[in-house]
Amino acid sequence: MKIGILYICTGKYSIFWKGFFDSCEQFFLPQVEKKYYVFTDASDIQNTNNIKTYYKQSQGFPLDTLLRFDMFIKAEEDSKECDYVFFFNSNMEFKKVITPDMFLTSIEENGLLGVLHPGHYYKHNPISLPYEKRKRSTAYIKHTKGENYNYFMGGVNGGTHEAFYRLSHICSENIKKDLDRNCIAIYHDESHLNHFFHNKKIKILPPSFGFPEGSNIPFEPYIIIRNKIKHGGKYFDKLPQTAYIQRIKRRIKELYRNILWILNF
Please state, as a whole number, how many other Cβ atoms lie within 10 Å of the Cβ of residue 81: 11
* SS3 assignment for 193-240: HHHHHCCCCCEEECHHHCEECCCCCCCCCCEEECCHHHHHHHHHCCCC
Residue 78: phi and psi, rounded to 5, are -60, -35
Catalytic residue among 33, 173, 190, 254: 190
Amino acid at 83: D
8 Å CB contact between 132 and 186: yes
| Of 75, 70, 18, 66, the residue nearest 44 (C-alpha) | 18
Torsion of CA 167, 168, 169, 175, to 10 degrees: 110
Q: Confirm whether 108 is a catalytic residue.
A: no
CA atoms within 13 A on the CB side of 112: 19
Q: Say which residues have a Cβ less than 8 Å from residue 243's Cβ, sequence separation at least 6.
A: none
Positions annotated as catalytic residues are 190
